[in-house]
């Protein structure tokens, strides 16, 4: 009986985890960064969802020359596709060179007009969008 309970508890814990084990980081572009270097930008193709005029997706920035305290940043973005496009950050994480989370912010930012840089990223994300609501699953960082 105890073994069944332990197995049931483990199964429930695994089913309610907020991290997915498979992601589909699709390269988007290289851009200059604040460290006088470049960063590679990615979109998680598996987490792009379009629900009416709303688009949600995860983006990843990987420094080509990582700093000891900062190597990657991952953001979850929500976009209102009505013209002009507006966006806001839903979650924001930073990772060091050991892939350890060093910063976490789940404060939802205010809506702002999408800049030309984001217009390009939004168009790219739309190519990978699936109809439906966001699953709320946080992708893994490579």
User: Higher pLDDT residue, 135 or 13?
Assistant: 135
Scored b (16 or more CB within 10 A) or e, 8-41 reads eeeeeeeeeeeeeeebebbebeeeebeeeeebbb
**The model's pTM:** 0.81
User: Is the predicted pLDDT of residue 17 greater than 70, yes or no?
Assistant: no
Per-residue CA distances from 122 to 53, 74, 128, 132 (Å): 12, 16, 10, 17
User: Higher pLDDT residue, 83 or 110?
Assistant: 110
User: Is the predicted pLDDT of residue 43 greater than 90, yes or no?
Assistant: yes
Of 84, 90, 141, the closest CA to residue 116 belongs to 84
* Cis amide linkage into residue 84, ω under 30° from 0: yes
Identify the three-state secondary structure at position 87.
strand
11-15, 58-62, 63-67, 80-84: segment of lowest average pLDDT: 11-15
Per-residue pLDDT at 22: 57
- pLDDT-based confidence at 67, cuts 50/70/90? confident
Per-residue pLDDT at 66: 92
């Amino acid at each position: 009986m105890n073994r069944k309970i332990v197995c049931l508890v483990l199964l429930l814990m695994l089913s309610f985890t907020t991290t997915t084990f498979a992601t589909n980081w699709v390269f988007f572009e290289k851009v200059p960064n604040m460290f006088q270097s470049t960063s590679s930008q990615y979109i998680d193709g598996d987490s792009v969802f379009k629900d009416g005029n709303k688009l949600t997706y995860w983006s990843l920035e990987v420094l080509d020359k990582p700093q000891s305290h900062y190597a990657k940043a991952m953001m979850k973005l929500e976009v209102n596709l009505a013209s002009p496009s507006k966006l806001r950050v839903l979650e924001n994480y930073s990772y060091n060179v050991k892939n350890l989370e060093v910063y976490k912010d789940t404060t939802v930012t205010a809506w702002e007009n999408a800049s030309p840089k984001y217009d390009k990223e939004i168009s790219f994300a739309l190519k990978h969008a699936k109809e439906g609501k966001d699953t709320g699953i946080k992708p893994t960082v490579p």
